[in-house]
């Protein structure tokens, strides 16, 4: 008897995804996860060109589709251009993941206006700009997923004012945009990770011991933990979740 081999359909097959800051950390895990489930992923980087190209190569060699694009989230023109080029090439966008972010922990009094502007540009303005450029091009079922921080609800310690302020702004953005886009069947959600082992927050630092001591689970999360939640929210299963923040922090905020 001849066996008929059926090609199994991956859940993001034919979906176009755009991920900001995909060269390292959580962004790289999100790129890999979405691509492994069939999405055609375009991701940005600003400084880590080599890592970005290696990631695109790794995904492609594994049979996925990923392309790295240099676009600094601090530069409104660069970022908007990257979204516009994706739309020009593919005609639409299904999944937008606003992941790129920076942290600048230092005494409040020592912050400069330039530092304020950089953190607000990358962590907040870029989220607005990418979403604004993408919004007209989402079909029904489109997804906007932004990576915030558990610190929006719990500043945890000193020297976090600018970062916490920037991540809190994303809560209002998410609620508002969910109502602007909801009638078109597009969901808008905020993922608020707690400590996750990346260059931004290495799990072998002194700060990490402080964090672990305050977490219900007492352990750092992995980038794959966050990518899994992104995948769920981006999928059909996540279709009734919108306008909300989901904290994934090992119980730091509990």
Ligand X SMILES: NC(=O)c1ccc[n+]([C@@H]2O[C@H](COP(=O)([O-])OP(=O)(O)OC[C@H]3O[C@@H](n4cnc5c(N)ncnc54)[C@H](OP(=O)(O)O)[C@@H]3O)[C@@H](O)[C@H]2O)c1
Contact set with ligand X (CB under 6 A): 20-27, 44-48, 72-74, 99-103, 122, 147, 149, 193, 195-196, 198-201
Q: How far is the CB of 3 from ligand X (least distance, A)?
A: 43
Active-site annotation holds for 163: yes
Task: Enumerate the β-bridge partners of residue 98.
Answer: 146
Distance CA 157, CA 164 (A): 10
Catalytic site residue from 45, 116, 163, 220: 163
Which tokens sit at 188? 């808008």
For ligand X, give the closer residue by CB, 22 or 238: 22
Residue 174 gets which letter from DSSP?
A: H
Helix (H) and strand (E) counts in the chain: 8, 7
Nearer to ligand X, 26 or 234 (CB): 26
**Distance (Å, whole) CA 226 – CA 222:** 7
Q: What's the min distance (Å) between Cβ of 101 and ligand X?
A: 2
Rounded CA-CA distance 90/52 in Å is 21
Q: What's the CA gap between 111 and 164, in Å, rounded?
A: 14
* Polymer length in residues for the chain: 254
Tell me whether residue 186 or residue 245 sits nearer to ligand X (CB atom): 245
Q: How far is the CB of 217 from ligand X (least distance, A)?
A: 14
C-alpha span between 222 and 220 (Å, rounded):
7
Q: How far is the CB of 251 from ligand X (least distance, A)?
A: 14
Q: Which is nearer to ligand X, 16 or 31 (CB)?
A: 31
By the 8 A CB rule, do 163 and 119 touch? yes
> Which of the residues are catalytic?
163
């Amino acid at each position: 008897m001849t066996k008929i081999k059926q090609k199994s359909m991956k859940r993001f097959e034919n979906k176009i995804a755009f991920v900001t800051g995909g060269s390292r950390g959580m962004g790289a895990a999100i790129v890999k996860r979405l691509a492994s489930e069939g999405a055609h992923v375009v991701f940005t980087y600003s400084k880590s060109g080599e890592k970005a190209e290696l990631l695109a190569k790794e995904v492609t060699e594994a049979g996925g589709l990923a392309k790295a694009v240099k676009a600094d989230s601090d530069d409104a023109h660069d970022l908007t251009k990257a979204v516009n080029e994706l739309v020009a090439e593919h005609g639409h966008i299904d999944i937008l993941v606003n992941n790129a972010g920076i942290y600048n922990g230092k005494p409040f009094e020592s912050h400069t206006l330039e530092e304020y502007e950089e953190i607000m540009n990358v962590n907040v303005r870029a989220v607005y700009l990418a979403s604004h450029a993408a919004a007209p091009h989402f079909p029904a079922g489109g997804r906007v997923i932004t990576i915030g921080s558990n610190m929006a609800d719990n500043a945890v310690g000193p020297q976090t004012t600018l970062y916490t302020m920037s991540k809190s702004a994303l809560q209002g953005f998410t609620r508002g945009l969910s109502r602007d886009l909801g009638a078109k069947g597009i969901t808008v959600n905020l993922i608020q990770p707690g400590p996750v082992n990346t260059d931004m927050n290495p799990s072998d630092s002194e700060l990490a011991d402080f964090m672990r001591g305050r977490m219900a689970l007492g352990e750092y999360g992995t980038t794959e933990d966050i990518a899994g939640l992104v995948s769920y929210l981006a999928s059909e299963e996540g279709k009734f979740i919108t306008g909300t923040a989901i904290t994934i922090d090992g119980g730091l905020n509990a």
